[in-house]
Structure 1
Amino acid sequence: MTQVTVTQPEKKRRRRNKAKAATAPSETQQENVGQKEALPEPASGGGEVPAETVGVAGDQVQSGDATAPQPAKKRRRGTRGKSQAVAGREAEPEAPNNVNQSGPVEEADPEPVNDGNENAQNEEDVKGAEGPSADVDDTSRNVNPADVALDYDFGSLELSTATRSALTDIGYERMTEVQARCIPLLLSGADVLGAAKTGSGKTMAFLIPAVELLYKAEFKPRNGTGVIVITPTRELALQIYGEARKLLKYHSQTHGIVIGGGNRKQEEDKLKRGVNVLIATPGRLLDHLQNTNFTFKNLIGLVIDEADRILEIGFEQELREIIKILPSKRQTMLFSATQTQKVKDIARVSTNKSPVYVGVDDHKEAATRKGLTQGYVVCPSERRFLLLYSFLKRNLKKKVIVFFSTCMSVKFHAELLNYIDIPVIELHGKLKQSKRTSTFFEFVNAERGILLCTDVAARGLDIPEVDWIIQFDPPSDPKEYIHRVGRTARGVAGAKGKALLFMLPQEVKFLHHLKYAKIPVCEFEFPTSKIANVQSQLEALIEKTYYLYKSAREAYRAYIQGYAQASLKDVFDVHSLDLEAVARSFGFTAPPKVPLKIALTGKNSRKRSRHGFNQDNPYGDAKTPPQFSR
């Protein structure tokens, strides 16, 4: 009797299981069902399910084919042993195909793939699976520009009447892409980490929200400083200050600027009276924060513009000190053309919450603007100046910027070109601040002209209608290249410009770095017959004109010293320079006697000694000193 009670339920369960097995599809049928969906093959994980099959709730797939139908009883029986959280996700309806949907993103949901890879997920599946911050790390929330519908009309923004009137006076009706993506986020109070190509209009992308922030808080001069904008260079600070003045035209808020080289006493007096919007360079700002008794405890907004450049030029420690001193309860807007680890570190310490990352150009194929035609020319050292002279002579009616690697090289070439009746102006770090300011605005307001400059003018400066960017000395890396050529083809869609890079034959490896950085360049050819052969006249001029000889000697020395400090040693190897040819490009018949503090040892020392300098002769070869006419 006892034996019957034990076996009877077992027989019934076996019969039930056989009946259910007869109604369920076979493994082959399950495979066929999967094939009908035309899903991609799974990755090399054996039974791993491809991301597209996970769709909304990745946890509902335990094993096997996700598309195989399951009997209702079996599914209920399968969920009894699971936690309520898992069972609840199985029962959830499919999320709408909308990137703006709200709701938490489950850890088990697939992360969207947006790396341009051929094996990326289907875009519709990704959109259906992700919430507004589907790609979250410990630093920022990413906004994929391709997934957000934009309204480029300034009228779509909730702005004060005073700001609207100012924008009308300036002539702004349509936003650029970075403005359309960043301004609404900033007006809503979010911290933003923005990345956009130079010349994209990001100055207004942070100035408009900053002004609106002060307007809504009803800031008065007695409240002190409410918004601080930190920028790397004096020229960029002056330019941002000019835009801020225009934007504040109909507002009651006050504005001011503190920069190195300015009158510190006047800055101090104005700060004490109350500056609501303050534009500053890092060093001078830190000086005032530590030594000037002005009110900044009510600060509600901090803007760090060109953050990568601030860090590159050695202001990281000052920036960290500034962030420590300023009130932590504020909105932060950080803009950077490149996203380095140091920039991410600054973003982490300067923002109160995870900033929204807006990468305007992340989904675009090229790192430079569309309307920019870019080319290079391979030219030996001794013919570089001849080619530059010929080019400038034929483009006197254009607006041209020529970049050099050192201040002394800018100074010499400006003196030389002006002497031989090619009018140019110069801008570099060794000029007094008043001269730098007047030169900058002179070129900004000119319809045509030639500006010789160092990289002090390569970052952020908005110089309208530049026709040509000439890089006479190559940039230190692709990032600097991008910023240099960003001085043309700026602003509105459809803007045009041209860029030309001078390269020595041994520097052509730099093209690989440009290609890797998604910078499209093509080779330009200049017929030899069209290059002015004025070398003998140049050498005679340098030999007989004392101030040009002295300037050329300093420029020659600075060029070699700067070349030795280049970061891309595989491209810019100082030991590969033919110093006799370099000397000729500066108007010498032989390398001049100058101190070159370059360590040359072993094979390189022996190999290069014939070119003018080695360990025993650090001054290089020199002829009898020339006799100058007085």
Structure 2
Amino acid sequence: MVKKAKGKFSKEARISQRKREAEELVKLHQEVAEYDPASKDAEVAQFSHLPISQNTLKGLTDSSFMKLTDIQKRSIPYALKGEDIMATAKTGSGKTLAFLIPTMEILLRNNITEFDGLAALILSPTRELAVQIFEVLKKIGAHNQFSAGLVTGGKDVKYEKDRVSRMNILVGTPGRVAQHLNESVGMETSNLQVLVLDEADRCLDMGFKSQIDNIVGHLPKTRQTLLFSATTTDSVKDLARLSLTNPRRIGVSSDSDISATPDSLDQYYIKIPLEEKLDVLWSFIKSHLNSKILVFFSSSKQVQFTYETFRKLQPGISLLKLYGRHKQTARLETTTKFSQAQHACLFATDIVARGLDFPAIDWVVQIDCPEDAATYVHRVGRAARFGREGKSLLMLLPSEEEGFLKRLENMKIDIKMMNIKQKSKKTIRPQLQSLCFQDPTIKNLGQRAFISYYRSVYIQKDKDVFKVEELPTETYAASLGLPGAPKIKIKGGASSKEKKNESRKLQMLAKTDENGDEKEGNKKVRTRYDRMFERKNQTVLSDHYLNMTGSKKTKDSDEEDSDEEEEFMVVKRKDHHLYEEDLPDASIPVSKRQAKKALSKKLSVATKGNPTKLVFDDDGKAHPIYELEDEEDFKKAGDANVQKEQFVTKESEYMGVADVQDKLTAREKRDEKKRRRKEIERRAREEGYEDSDDEGEAVYRLGDPDLDQDMEYSEAEAEEPQAKKPKWFQTNDKRDETDKFVEVDQPDTLEDLEALTARLIGN
């Protein structure tokens, strides 16, 4: 009876709760319909003034979100009305909440449950930004009943395929989302309500245009699209024409399509030669140990080299590194550590230049000039977020100063010049040279950093700023600690980003025809087992090892000849061809005696003579250690007797010099041995004196009451040492064998003690 009453009560409670939710939903629809964002009365300052549900408002309150930012005031009301949004705003202005709140409210008003499949899709250019968006979504949507998922590269695809069909809101990167749309059977997009493109310009710059076009092709046209970015480029405008319907443009001014930097950011730049960049960076870090610093490089190889060398030099602050080729777990761990750290320095590439919110960054340092002004805006936007104060420092080469400052002036960015005090600048070139000399890994990292920097400058489109021909090669290599500038071989170009982010499976499918067979002119399609067996060692010296062992394959003989100078070590042979007439006849049977003789090293040496040692010259030719001169050359040198006398004279002079040196060495050894013996005796005397009961008395052993006689005796003994008393075993005195008593002196050495023992045993 109790269980029935409890079940009846729970059923009634559920019915009443559903009625309240239905009434709140009707009321919410009415509030949104009556809400007019264009009226002056609709201007809001807090989230409680918006027509949103109580669950969403409670999640915002629990996460300490109370007031709206400028971009949120201008975009959220129109997004709640169902309009497409194309918004641009300053970095750190709160764009994440500007699209997450409307996304949840639209799903709530359309009665989306966990059984309705995918209803909202949020795309982000980087894994770190996708993780950050997902974490914010979990906080503010904790009281709603939606199911949300995160799909990024570096995770288990099979695990995601089993669960992606049950997600209402999906946050991910374009590559992984496109893969699921093409491969996951349960991922249905017919019920999609909202599509969000965050940092859309970055998605296109990273080569994700084909993936985004593929994703948009799978989605229904009746959806609502929200496009957010910190800058607006021509590619973003083209994407907006394809995916947005009559969008409302927010935050785009008529004077410039690119947003300015935060007002609370102090921006500086310095003009510096290329070879002094690492010295200035080291001095800057040493003078800001109590700060949180984010350092941007143009390539991951530079990040690795700087991190490894600075870590060994120990500047006194926690160092971290982050770049795209890191594993997913390592990237998330580094991001968490830097976010929670109070004082730290993070070396990173542009992978963290967009959207990521690192709390309380004091300095953003750009070692290398960014590719354009928009990238500069995103980099410095990691500091001075949400009204906080921050500073940035940009290092420009003399060839980059004029051109890049004009780009910043066109964006109305006020940047000041900073002078470096010579007293505070310290050089670390000797330490870097020592590290490269001692550790081949560091040297190889330095060479790769050198090549990657030149390659990054070469592929830049703005040739008025980036002038690779004016870069100093030898001085820059010396500043990295390298003995010389390595050879540079440029590969790739403007399309390298697209090839880098292109799906491997799509590349493999492009090389096959409709039947799955290999196309003409293409190489054999490699399976995962082929890749497993072709996998190299992940150390930095693997390429050199392959060159040395001859395992590295070349495309053809022409490339082999052209790359001959770049190989690490090559063994040249001309007699490696085998001909059938030289081979033994395999049809003739081999006897046991012949087989034993062939396999036995001892028997084979008996017929061929003793083995001889050989030495190799610089050309790789073998020579005996003692090689005889030809008879003709010997006769040309003159008479044999004269040569004999010259040889004997020369060797005599050499032996005389060697004899003098040997005598000097022997004398030094004797002196050293004598010095050590005196030192041992001195220590023994000091220990004996310390054990004496009479402290503070004369050092002489007093045997006679007259002190003067003792002094005279000691001085005479020092001038003329008396003959030592012979030991008992050195005398010829014969003792009576019947005498059972043996009188001996106190044994002084181990030999005396052994002789005494033998005598006692004999008696």
| TM-score, normalised by the number of residues in structure 2 | 0.58
Task: Check the 8 A contact 2:309/2:435 in 1, yes or no.
Answer: no
Q: Given the superposition, is the C-alpha separation of residues 530 and 192 from structure 1 closer, same or farther in structure 2, using an over 3 Å criterion?
A: same
2:75 to 179, 182, 188: 182
Q: Given the superposition, is the C-alpha separation of residues 322 and 538 from structure 1 closer, same or farther in structure 2, using an over 3 Å criterion?
A: same
Offset of 1:595 from its aligned partner? 4.2
Offset of 1:144 from its aligned partner? 11
Gaps of 5+ in 2: 1-35, 494-561, 569-763
Task: Output the CA distance in 1 between the equivalents of 2:458 and 2:564.
Answer: 14
**DSSP-derived class of the 1:537 partner:** helix
2:434 to 524, 533, 540: 540
Task: Check the 8 A contact 1:257/1:279 in 2, yes or no.
Answer: yes
User: Which residue in 1 is equivalent to 2:170?
Assistant: 278
Instruction: Considering Cα pairs closer than 8 Å and 6+ residues apart, tell me whether 1 or 2 has the greater RCO.
Output: 1
User: Which residue in 2 is equivalent to 1:444?
Assistant: 339
2:288 to 367, 374, 395: 395
User: Which residue in 2 is equivalent to 1:66?
Assistant: none
Task: Output the CA distance in 2 between the equivalents of 1:380 and 1:512.
Answer: 20
1:453 to 348, 365, 377: 348
Task: Check the 8 A contact 1:595/1:619 in 2, yes or no.
Answer: no
State the AA in 2 paired with 1:489.
Answer: A
Runs (4+) off by over 3 Å: 147-150, 360-366, 592-599, 616-620
Task: Output the CA distance in 2 between the equivalents of 1:417 and 1:304.
Answer: 38
State the AA in 2 paired with 1:372.
Answer: L
Task: Output the CA distance in 2 between the equivalents of 1:257 and 1:482.
Answer: 28
User: Which residue in 2 is equivalent to 1:155?
Assistant: 48
Q: Counterparts in 2 of 1:59-458, with a 5 A limit?
A: 150-272=43-165, 274-293=166-185, 294-351=187-244, 353-359=245-251, 367-422=260-315, 423-458=318-353
Say yes or no: does 1:549 pair with 2:453.
Answer: no
Task: Output the CA distance in 2 between the equivalents of 1:221 and 1:534.
Answer: 59
Q: Given the superposition, is the C-alpha separation of residues 223 and 203 from structure 1 closer, same or farther in structure 2, using an over 3 Å criterion?
A: same
Offset of 1:400 from its aligned partner? 0.6
Task: Check the 8 A contact 1:366/1:519 in 2, yes or no.
Answer: no
| TM-score, normalised by the number of residues in structure 1 | 0.70
Offset of 1:276 from its aligned partner? 0.8
User: Which residue in 1 is equivalent to 2:578?
Assistant: none
**DSSP-derived class of the 2:192 partner:** coil
Task: Output the CA distance in 1 between the equivalents of 2:325 and 2:164.
Answer: 28
Say yes or no: does 1:472 pair with 2:364.
Answer: no
State the AA in 2 paired with 1:222.
Answer: F
State the AA in 1 paired with 2:53.
Answer: S
CA deviation string 1:448-489 (max 9, x = no partner): 211100000001111111000000011001010000001011
1:487 to 362, 382, 385: 382
Q: Which has the larger radius of gyration?
A: 2
User: Which residue in 2 is equivalent to 1:529?
Assistant: 423
User: Which residue in 2 is equivalent to 1:119?
Assistant: none
User: Which residue in 1 is equivalent to 2:742?
Assistant: none
Task: Check the 8 A contact 2:89/2:259 in 1, yes or no.
Answer: no
State the AA in 2 paired with 1:260.
Answer: G
Offset of 1:267 from its aligned partner? 1.1
User: Which residue in 2 is equivalent to 1:23?
Assistant: none
Cα RMSD (Å): 2.5
Task: Check the 8 A contact 2:118/2:189 in 1, yes or no.
Answer: yes
Task: Check the 8 A contact 1:476/1:566 in 2, yes or no.
Answer: yes
Q: Given the superposition, is the C-alpha separation of residues 538 and 551 from structure 1 closer, same or farther in structure 2, using an over 3 Å criterion?
A: same
Say yes or no: does 1:562 pair with 2:456.
Answer: yes
Task: Check the 8 A contact 2:269/2:417 in 1, yes or no.
Answer: yes
State the AA in 1 paired with 2:437.
Answer: E
User: Which residue in 1 is equivalent to 2:671?
Assistant: none
**DSSP-derived class of the 1:392 partner:** helix
Q: Given the superposition, is the C-alpha separation of residues 186 and 439 from structure 1 closer, same or farther in structure 2, using an over 3 Å criterion?
A: same
Q: Given the superposition, is the C-alpha separation of residues 278 and 596 from structure 1 closer, same or farther in structure 2, using an over 3 Å criterion?
A: closer
State the AA in 2 paired with 1:357.
Answer: R
CA deviation string 1:136-155 (max 9, x = no partner): xxxxxxx999x998422112
Q: Given the superposition, is the C-alpha separation of residues 525 and 209 from structure 1 closer, same or farther in structure 2, using an over 3 Å criterion?
A: same
Offset of 1:536 from its aligned partner? 2.1
Offset of 1:594 from its aligned partner? 5.3
State the AA in 2 paired with 1:204.
Answer: L
User: Which residue in 1 is equivalent to 2:678?
Assistant: none
Offset of 1:568 from its aligned partner? 1.3
Q: Given the superposition, is the C-alpha separation of residues 618 and 578 from structure 1 closer, same or farther in structure 2, using an over 3 Å criterion?
A: farther
Task: Output the CA distance in 1 between the equivalents of 2:367 and 2:222.
Answer: 47
Task: Output the CA distance in 2 between the equivalents of 1:483 and 1:521.
Answer: 15
Q: Given the superposition, is the C-alpha separation of residues 148 and 531 from structure 1 closer, same or farther in structure 2, using an over 3 Å criterion?
A: farther
Offset of 1:598 from its aligned partner? 10
Task: Output the CA distance in 2 between the equivalents of 1:144 and 1:590.
Answer: 66
Task: Output the CA distance in 1 between the equivalents of 2:371 and 2:259.
Answer: 20
Task: Output the CA distance in 2 between the equivalents of 1:309 and 1:594.
Answer: 29
Q: Given the superposition, is the C-alpha separation of residues 438 and 227 from structure 1 closer, same or farther in structure 2, using an over 3 Å criterion?
A: same
Gaps of 5+ in 1: 1-131, 133-142, 600-615, 623-630
Offset of 1:263 from its aligned partner? 1.3
State the AA in 1 paired with 2:57.
Answer: R
Q: Given the superposition, is the C-alpha separation of residues 311 and 202 from structure 1 closer, same or farther in structure 2, using an over 3 Å criterion?
A: same
Q: Given the superposition, is the C-alpha separation of residues 250 and 545 from structure 1 closer, same or farther in structure 2, using an over 3 Å criterion?
A: same
Say yes or no: does 1:502 pair with 2:389.
Answer: no
User: Which residue in 2 is equivalent to 1:579?
Assistant: 473
Task: Output the CA distance in 2 between the equivalents of 1:154 and 1:259.
Answer: 31
> Among the aligned pairs, what percent are the same residue?
37
State the AA in 2 paired with 1:442.
Answer: K
Q: Given the superposition, is the C-alpha separation of residues 181 and 597 from structure 1 closer, same or farther in structure 2, using an over 3 Å criterion?
A: closer
Task: Output the CA distance in 2 between the equivalents of 1:476 and 1:225.
Answer: 38
State the AA in 1 paired with 2:347.
Answer: L
Task: Check the 8 A contact 1:564/1:598 in 2, yes or no.
Answer: no
Task: Check the 8 A contact 1:304/1:335 in 2, yes or no.
Answer: yes
Task: Check the 8 A contact 2:301/2:445 in 1, yes or no.
Answer: yes
Offset of 1:564 from its aligned partner? 0.7
Task: Check the 8 A contact 1:182/1:194 in 2, yes or no.
Answer: yes
Offset of 1:357 from its aligned partner? 0.4
Task: Output the CA distance in 2 between the equivalents of 1:315 and 1:516.
Answer: 28
CA deviation string 1:293-339 (max 9, x = no partner): 22321111110111111111111121112111111111110112222
State the AA in 2 paired with 1:572.
Answer: F
| Deviation larger for 572-581 or 537-546 | 537-546
Report the number of matched residues. Answer: 459
Task: Output the CA distance in 2 between the equivalents of 1:470 and 1:270.
Answer: 41
Task: Output the CA distance in 1 between the equivalents of 2:53 and 2:378.
Answer: 34
Task: Output the CA distance in 2 between the equivalents of 1:200 and 1:585.
Answer: 40
Offset of 1:341 from its aligned partner? 2.2
